[in-house]
Amino acid sequence: MQSFFNDKTFFSALFKLWTPIALQQLIFSLLNFVSTMMVGQLGETSVAAVGLAGQIFFLFQLLLFGISSGSAIFIAQFWGKRNLKNIHRVLGISITLGLMGTLVFSIIAILFPQWAIGVYTTDPGVITLGSEYLRIAGLQYFFVAITTSYAVTLRSTGNVRMPVTISIFALGLGAALNYVLIFGQFGMPALGVQGIAIGSIIARVIECALLLTLTYTTHSSAAASLREMLSFDRGFLTSILKTMLPVVLNEILWSLGISLYSLIYARIGTESVAAVSIAASIENLAFVPFIAVANSAAIMIGNRIGADEEHKAMEYAMRFWRMNIIASILMGSAIFISADSVLGFYNIDATTTQFARNVLIVMACAMWIKVSNMLLVVGVLRAGGDARVSALIDVSPLWLVGLPAAALGGFVFGLPVYWVYLLTISDEACKLILAAWRVISKRWINNLARPHAAL
């Protein structure tokens, strides 16, 4: 135990990375939580509408997360060798792929919002409100794609503070605009759910503009010219895509599966999807420190592998895992104890409250499993370039175990939403067994920067 805390280099690097990332995630989750409560004042239909419309943005964000996670694998390892030329090439590939995805999702959100919401629910009130929100919100996707690529590049090269500070400012601005535009404060019209979409667009545009301005005026590691970003040849592109595409496919299939969970909840009833949306906003808040740990682990482990210190990468992986298990058990206990108090802030009926409480209890008990999977897949296996195997581990239990179980529970046996949610944890349990086995085997460690060191 003494040697665990004696590695000052580890904890110093972790503190520098974890603190700003955790702060960003905390602000994001708090504001999302507050926004959900504000929408909650408009009733269950509005909560369900925004929650389901948010599924489209959720799918888009996870596509970007797959692209950025794939690029971060290389950027972190290239940074271990201080190879800026290849970092800029990877940034260019990341932006190109992100904008291709933006085109698809923007068309769906702006031109076909009713169809998109109708996939999840048949409630006409939810479809109407959700499509009004989605049509406006789709205008922000372009700016989100650009911001994500630059932010990940900066974080993976150790410059965490700048993108985090800008993001926190933008999130705070968005929350303030949401309050003004939802309820019609300071002489503005009361726009309801449309106000959330408008506030988000304004905040995203400002965030993107500030990040690009500071990236280039400070000559940061991500300050690449257009020529530098597009200087990759076919061989380089192929080698990057060989690792990146499994991660992207992983996120697409995973996000589709999670979205199908939402479809199942919505088909059970409007109260059910509202309950899960509320519980998910609370869970997102609880996940803040663990998301930061996973991102920090990916950078630190990737840097060690790029610096040819594979033994240190394995040591870091096991240390992160032990820390996460202890902290997640404590966090789950806090959710279990405080569930009733937190739900008292929402203006929802007794049925929705009871559903949300039961879902939260399941979330609390399963938190250590979900947190472990996040760390092992995102923070360890991907950092080691084990993209194809980690994709199979992440996606297969979801589609082969979790979704069939939830569909049977919801559509065949007619179980209430909290029992259906419990059935979804079966995929997390299977995933943990597979991920733990892969990490312990050490076969996930691949030095991807070494073949490109001279390029």
DSSP class per residue in 206-244: HHHHHHHHHHHHTT-TT---HHHHT---HHHHHHHHHHH
Hey, what are 69's tokens? 């996670």
Is a pLDDT exceeding 50 seen at residue 1?
A: no
How many domains are contained in the chain?
Answer: 1
Residues 306-338: tens digit of each pLDDT:
777 888 889 889 999 999 999 999 999 999 998
Q: Is 238 exposed, middle or buried (0-12, 13-18, 19+ CB in 10 A)?
A: exposed
Residues 180-215: tens digit of each pLDDT:
887 878 878 777 778 888 888 898 999 999 999 999
CA 205 – CA 147 distance, rounded (Å): 9
Is a pLDDT exceeding 80 seen at residue 34?
A: no
The domain in which residue 26 lies consists of: 2-452
Find the largest Cα–Cα distance for the chain.
64
pTM higher than 0.85:
no
CA 170 – CA 133 distance, rounded (Å): 20
Hey, what are 265's tokens? 């909840």
Residue whose C-alpha is closest to residue 68's, from 382, 448, 425: 382
Say if CB 296 and CB 18 are below 8 A apart.
Answer: yes
Please give the single-letter amino acid code of residue 349.
D
Q: Is 118 exposed, middle or buried (0-12, 13-18, 19+ CB in 10 A)?
A: middle
Highest mean pLDDT among 50-64, 197-211, 294-308: 197-211
Answer with the residue of higher pLDDT: 371 or 74: 371
Residue whose C-alpha is closest to residue 57's, from 88, 35, 40, 38: 35
